[in-house]
Amino acid sequence: MSLDWDAVRFVVFDVDGTLYRQRRLRFRMARDILLHALLKRDLNVIAVLARYRRIRERMGDEAAIDFEPALIAQTAAATANSPDAVRAIVSEWIERRPLGYLAACLYPGVTQLFAGLRQSGRPIGILSDYPAQAKLEALGLTADHVVFAGDEGIESLKPHPRGLEFLIAAVGVKPHQTLVIGDRVDRDGLVARRVGAQALIRSSSSIDGWQTFARFDDALFLPVLARS
Ligand SMILES: [Mg+2]
């Protein structure tokens, strides 16, 4: 199975775990959070983040819409925090602090692939369940259309199709001319399939029924890499 790049006019990327090594980032953040908990004698941050992630993951499994108020409220109730306190912890530890580590976690070949796609005239879209603009800047990447699950009018988690449908409409291509590149079959793969787009899943091992790739310097991408 190989990819027919001539049939691809728009490429949509997931961010976390697709453009950068999520495990490396998670490790560094876990170290920082632990250090914070020890120094400030504050275990609340750990409890809030763990619960927030678990509820968010469950909402993704349900392809939830209008998820954010419920996510904050449920995390707050489960950890005996105010919604404002939860929002502050999420914004600090999930959105702001990881930015400084991102560049060191960027996967090899991403920058070249973005340049190649741009050179070949294919617009680049981003579809992320977490805020993506600041992360892209930290990674030194630019995209033509960036959609985050919490954006007004989107407010849905993958694999809900709303975000991808919005991107495809914004670019004005057909769903089957769109390629979604992600790291999770149950999110990125499924959203592509629901909308009628193609999917390419980053994975070191093959996954039955899905086209996968291990690295961005894979031969698969050669046809769209920038000529120097
Ligand atoms: Mg991902």
Chain-centre distance for alpha carbon 154: 15
Which alpha helices (H) appear in the chain, and where do they start and end?
A: 22-40, 44-61, 68-79, 83-90, 99-102, 110-119, 133-139, 162-171, 190-195
Ligand 1 centroid to residue 198 C-alpha, Å? 16
Residue 2: per-residue pLDDT: 73
Ligand 1 centroid to residue 40 C-alpha, Å? 31
Ligand 1 centroid to residue 213 C-alpha, Å? 14
Ligand 1 centroid to residue 96 C-alpha, Å? 18
Ligand 1 centroid to residue 107 C-alpha, Å? 13
- Euclidean distance between the first and the last CA atom of the chain, given in angstroms as a whole number: 28
Residue 228: per-residue pLDDT: 56
Ligand 1 centroid to residue 35 C-alpha, Å? 26
Ligand 1 centroid to residue 17 C-alpha, Å? 5
Lookup: tokens for 57: 């993951």
Ligand 1 centroid to residue 15 C-alpha, Å? 6
User: Quick one: CATH architecture of 5-20+106-224?
Assistant: 3-Layer(aba) Sandwich (3.40)
Single pTM value for the model: 0.95
Ligand 1 centroid to residue 181 C-alpha, Å? 9
Residue 51: per-residue pLDDT: 98
Tens-level pLDDT at each residue, the chain (228 residues): 578 999 999 999 999 999 999 999 999 999 999 999 999 999 999 999 999 999 999 999 998 899 999 999 999 999 999 999 999 999 999 999 999 999 999 999 999 999 999 999 999 999 999 999 999 999 999 999 999 999 999 999 999 999 999 999 999 999 999 999 999 999 999 999 999 999 999 999 999 999 999 999 899 999 998 665
Ligand 1 centroid to residue 187 C-alpha, Å? 8
Other Cβ atoms less than 10 A from the Cβ of 188: the count is 28
Domain residue limits, the chain: 5-20+106-224, 24-101
Ligand 1 centroid to residue 14 C-alpha, Å? 6
